[in-house]
Amino acid sequence: MAVSVIVVVIGFLDIHTLPTTITTTAFAEAVIFAAEKVSMKLTALAGGVGAAKLLSGLVKVFPPENLTIISNTGDDFRWMGLYISPDLDTVLYTLAGIANPAAGWGVRDDTFNALEVLAKLGCETWFHLGDRDLATHLFRTYRMECGETHTAITLDLCRQNGVSARLLPMTDSYVPTLMHTNEGTLGFQDYFVRRHCSPQVRGVSYQGIDASRPAPGVIDAIRLADAIVLCPSNPYISIGPILAVPGIRTALHETRAQVLAVTPIVAGEALKGPAAVMMRQLGEEASAAGVARRYKDFLDIFVIDRQDDELQGRIESLGMKVRIEQTVMDSMEDRTALARRLVEMLS
Ligand code: FO1
C-alpha cells in the first residue's frame, strides 16, 4: 500500500528537477512536496492563446484532475446560426493536443472546404473556421438548441477530447463583449478579427452581464481552491469579463486561496493581441504595473517578467508580493518551467 502511494506520487515528479545523486532526505522532501501538490486544488481564470500556453505547461507538472479552468466567454458570438466560443475552444483544443500550433486557435491541419464553398455563395468569411472546428460548433449549437447548458456541453467536449482538467464557461448566459470605439460600438470579433483592432477603443462593456450568474461550479472553484492563477490574458477582454460576472470578484476577495496573476504585458507590449494598445487608448499605463493595479483589491502575488524587474517596487507598493520570472513562453520547455515555478510559489 505504502509502496503504491509513493509510486503514484513519484508519477507527478518531474524527473528533470531531481538532482543526479539524490539523498534520502532530499528524496523524502521531494515526495512530500509532490504529495502536497497532488492534493492541492488549483483554479485558473483564462482567456485564449496566452492562457492556453500556460495551461498546457501546468497540466504537465500538476495533476489536471485537480485543476479547474474558468474560461472567458465574452468573445462568444454567433455566426451563420452557429454558437462559437473562441477562448474556451482555444483552451480545449490546446489541452487536447489538437490546436493549430501556428495560430494558437483552431484545429491543427484543418481544411477550409466549407468556408470556401460559403465564400462562393457570397457569405462573409473573415472569421476563419476550419472544417474540423465547425464540427465542434455544430455539436455545441445543436445541443444548446436541445436545451443543454454551455457548462454541460463543455464538460462533455472535454470528456470526448480526453481533457482531464475541468473546463467551465464563466457563465451560461450570453454576455458578449462590446467595443466602444471612435467608429461606434462593435461586437468583439468584429473589432478584433474583421477590423484587426484598428478602431480606437473608448471603452469596453459586457452586454447583459449584470443579469448573468456564474456557471455552476464557478464560485465553489474559487472559494474552495487552495490556489488561484490568473493566466497571462488581456485584462479588459479576457479576465475583465470573468471578473464582471456578479459574485466572481467577491469570491476572489473571500477565498482562502492565494491568488496569483501572471502579467500579459512585458516591456510595455502585449505578448499577443491588443492589450497594450487598448491600455494606452483607454488612458492607462501599458505595463505590468498598469495590469497589477486592476487586480490590487484581491491579488496576493503578481508575476512579472525579468525584463520588467524595475517595476517590482511600484507593484509591491500596491499591496502584493512580486515574483520575477521568465514569463515569455516561446517553447514547451518555457511553458512547463513557468508552470512549475508557479506551483512552487503556491505550494
Ligand atoms: N482569430 C483571428 O485573428 N482570425 C480568425 O479568423 C480567427 C478564427 C477563429 C476561429 C475559431 C476560434 O476558436 C478562434 C478564432 N480566432 C481567430 C481567435 C479568436 O478570435 C481570438 O483569439 C479570441 O477571441 C481572443 O482571445
Q: Residue 14: pLDDT band by 50, 70, 90 thresholds?
A: very low
What is the C-alpha to C-alpha distance for residues 176 and 166, in angstroms, rounded to an integer? 23
* Residue 32 and residue 61 share a domain: no
Phi, psi of 243 (to 5 degrees): -70, -20
User: In the chain, which ranges are continuous DSSP H helix?
Assistant: 2-11, 24-39, 49-61, 86-96, 113-120, 131-145, 150-160, 188-189, 218-223, 239-244, 248-254, 275-281, 288-294, 312-316, 332-346
Burial letters 216-249, b for 16+ CB under 10 A, else e: eebbebbeebbbbbbbbbbbbbbbbbbbbbeebb
* Residue 54 and residue 179 share a domain: yes
Query: What pTM was computed for the model?
Result: 0.90
Ligand 1 centroid from CA 24, angstroms: 50
What is the C-alpha to C-alpha distance for residues 148 and 33, in angstroms, rounded to an integer? 41
pLDDT digits (tens, 9 = 90+) for 108-162: 999 999 999 999 999 999 999 999 999 999 999 999 999 999 999 999 999 999 9
* Residue 35 and residue 137 share a domain: no
* Residue 93 and residue 115 share a domain: yes
Which residue owns the Cα nearest ligand 1 atom 26? 48
What is the C-alpha to C-alpha distance for residues 294 and 291, in angstroms, rounded to an integer? 5
Range of the domain at 24: 1-39
* Residue 150 and residue 21 share a domain: no
Ligand 1 centroid from CA 69, angstroms: 19
Whether the per-residue pLDDT at 81 is higher than 90: the answer is yes
Whether the per-residue pLDDT at 4 is higher than 90: the answer is no
pLDDT digits (tens, 9 = 90+) for 288-329: 999 999 999 999 999 999 999 999 999 999 999 999 999 999
Ligand 1: lining residues by beta carbon, under 6 Å: 47-49, 75, 86-87, 89-90, 105-106, 127-129, 133, 189, 192-193
Pick the residue with more confidence: 216 or 38?
216
Ligand 1 centroid from CA 48, angstroms: 9
* Residue 219 and residue 101 share a domain: yes
Q: Which of 193, 204, 234, 278 to mutate to test the pocket of ligand 1 (most atoms within 8 A of CB)?
A: 193
What is the C-alpha to C-alpha distance for residues 320 and 220, in angstroms, rounded to an integer? 24
The whole-number average pLDDT for the span 80-108 is 97
Q: Residue 35: pLDDT band by 50, 70, 90 thresholds?
A: very low
Ligand 1 centroid from CA 75, angstroms: 9
Q: How many domains is the chain partitioned into structurally?
A: 2
Whether the per-residue pLDDT at 332 is higher than 90: the answer is yes
297 neighbors 253 (Cβ within 8 angstroms): yes
* Residue 271 and residue 166 share a domain: yes
Q: Residue 37: pLDDT band by 50, 70, 90 thresholds?
A: low
Q: Residue 8: pLDDT band by 50, 70, 90 thresholds?
A: very low
Whether the per-residue pLDDT at 16 is higher than 50: the answer is no
Atom of ligand 1 nearest to the CA of 129: 10
* Residue 35 and residue 48 share a domain: no
* Residue 34 and residue 153 share a domain: no
CA dihedral of residues 314, 205, 232, 129 (deg, nearest 10) = -160
Ligand 1 centroid from CA 218, angstroms: 24
Whether the per-residue pLDDT at 31 is higher than 50: the answer is no
Which residue owns the Cα nearest ligand 1 atom 10? 129
What is the C-alpha to C-alpha distance for residues 34 and 258, in angstroms, rounded to an integer? 18
Instruction: Concatenate the DSSP letters of all residues of 62-94 into one string.
Output: S-GGGEEEEE--TT-EEETTEEE-HHHHHHHHH
* Residue 23 and residue 143 share a domain: no
DSSP label of 184 = E
* Residue 89 and residue 22 share a domain: no
